Amino acid sequence: MHLYRLLIFFVIGSFWGCKTQSNLPSKYEMEPVLLHLASVDQPDSIGFNLVSSIHKLIYPRIQNGDIALWKTSKKKELVNKSQFLKIEESYDTRFVNSNDLFIHEYWQLIGKEFDFLVLGFSFVGKTSIGEPVSYGFVDAADVIGILKSIKIPTTHQGPSNMSYWNAIHSKQFNFNVVQFGNNDFKSNPELSVLLKNQACYSRSINRNFYVPEKSRRVIYKIISPNINSNLENKKIYTETESGINDNKQVILNIAKKSVEPQDIIKPWSINSIRVIEKWSNYKNIPLQELEYLLLEINGKNYKLNKQEIEEVGLSINLQGISEYLSEKNFDFIIEKVNSESIPPQKSESMYTKLLKNI
């Protein structure tokens, strides 16, 4: 444990020196700040774990040499992919299992306005016997495209459509300020908490953090009438099957699948129907917006988006299929919410939970 703390101080020291600050500042401009995040300290309630997720995102790209990995945040010496892999082998450790992440930022407080800039990330791990391992530093400029374009995995408690970059800028994760300018808080640990609270939580300070949309992406399977007695389930399968048989060529054109003569001549039978919807709430009105239909037809899978569904003209009980599905008069099993797979036995309780919390 002593060695591990020394390594943390080394990471901090490689970025700034050490000097104690005694008063809470009312103003600062582009002050270098170091945040420490621990994977085990991230609350389930936010629905994502930035530490474990970013390690898994970055790891294969470092392995392939697609991302520059520097020895320290001073960026004087690169760690090539062979050296990186040797670190894992030599110390019997796995990068993706690391519990710790350091985020290098600049903070600015002018008047009542707080802002920050992300500079990069330092990755620190432990060996199987608890000894510290420094993997290196990744410049934010080298990964900003990836962080902005890829969605962070979220559970049913998190938002459905949040990028890694937006997750970082939400500041919803649990973190500690371990360095502020030249202050390492050794003589006054309480100041670290006060600075964090002032910058991120004080009601007197304005800040433009990313606010995640309160929505969930839900995938559910409509139970086949072969194993279910609900008449609505039979209607869905029967009328959807009729609709697709009337529009075979349209569906084949949409799916861009190779066409065999039997695909046109042979009647189509639906094996299963899955639905992807975006669930949200607008002014206390629950909304369930159809995004995709996943149909297994004669053993082949077809995925139709909302526009393509309208092109095919599917309807149930003389209603548009989107409106009909939102009423939920049929029996179904929730299989996934955001990135989280839901066991069949928890489907009903998850449905109740989603209705209450969205």
Query: Secondary structure of the chain in the HEC alphabet?
Result: CHHHHHHHHHHHHCCCCCCCCCCCCCCEEEEEEEEEEEHHHCCHHHCCCHHHHHHHHHHHHHHCCCCCEECCCCCCCEECHHHHHHHHHHHCCCHHHCCEEEEEEEEEEECCEEEEEEEEEEEEEECCCCCEEEEEEEEHHHHHHHHHHCECCCCCCCCCCCEHHHHHHHCCCCCEEEEECCECCCCCHHHHHHHHHHHHCCCCCEECCCCCCCCEEEEEEECCHHHCCCHHHHHHHHHHHHHHHCCHHHHHHHHCCCCCHHHHHCCCCEEEEEEEEEEEEECCEEEEEEEEEEEEECCEEEEEEHHHHHHHCCEECCEEHHHHHHHCCCCEEEEEECCEECCHHHHHHHHHHHHHHC
**Same domain for 62 and 107?**
yes
The band of 22, judged by pLDDT with boundaries at 50, 70 and 90, is very low
**Same domain for 258 and 177?**
no
Determine what percent of the chain is predicted with pLDDT higher than 70. Answer: 94
In the numeric block, which tokens belong to residue 185? 């808080």
Averaged pLDDT score across all residues of the chain: 91
With b for 16 or more beta-carbon neighbours within 10 A and e for fewer, the 216-229 pattern comes to bbbbbbbbbbeebe
Determine what percent of the chain is predicted with pLDDT higher than 90. Answer: 81
**Same domain for 63 and 107?**
yes
The band of 85, judged by pLDDT with boundaries at 50, 70 and 90, is very high
Cβ atoms of 126 and 119 closer than 8 Å: no
Q: What is the mean pLDDT of residues 204-228?
A: 96
For the whole model, what pTM was predicted? 0.88
**Same domain for 154 and 237?**
no
Q: For residue range 55-81, what is the model confidence (pLDDT) as tens digits? A: 999 999 999 999 999 999 999 999 999
pLDDT of residue 236: 96
**Same domain for 179 and 196?**
yes
Would you say residue 12 has pLDDT above 70?
Answer: no
**Same domain for 237 and 177?**
no
Domain hosting residue 180, numbered range: 2-207
Would you say residue 19 has pLDDT above 90?
Answer: no
The number of beta carbons lying within 10 Å of the beta carbon of residue 286 is 12
Domain endpoint, select from 152, 183, 207? 207
| Dist CA 212 CA 265 (whole Å) | 49
**Same domain for 281 and 317?**
yes
Cβ atoms of 337 and 156 closer than 8 Å: yes
Q: What is the mean pLDDT of residues 16-42?
A: 80
When divided into structural domains, the chain yields a total of 2
The band of 88, judged by pLDDT with boundaries at 50, 70 and 90, is very high
Please work out, in degrees rounded to the nearest 5, the angle formed at the alpha carbon of residue 209 by the alpha carbons of 186 and 45.
Answer: 80
R_g over Cα of the chain: 26
pLDDT of residue 262: 74
**Same domain for 223 and 76?**
no
**Same domain for 232 and 189?**
no
pLDDT of residue 282: 85
The band of 9, judged by pLDDT with boundaries at 50, 70 and 90, is very low
Q: For residue range 164-211, what is the model confidence (pLDDT) as tens digits? A: 999 999 999 999 999 999 999 999 999 999 999 999 999 999 999 999
User: Cα dist. 45→98, 158, 346 in Å?
Assistant: 21, 8, 18
In the numeric block, which tokens belong to residue 358? 């969205």
**Same domain for 96 and 225?**
no
Would you say residue 2 has pLDDT above 90?
Answer: no
The band of 128, judged by pLDDT with boundaries at 50, 70 and 90, is confident
Q: For residue range 241-274, what is the model confidence (pLDDT) as tens digits? A: 999 999 998 898 888 877 677 778 889 999 999 9
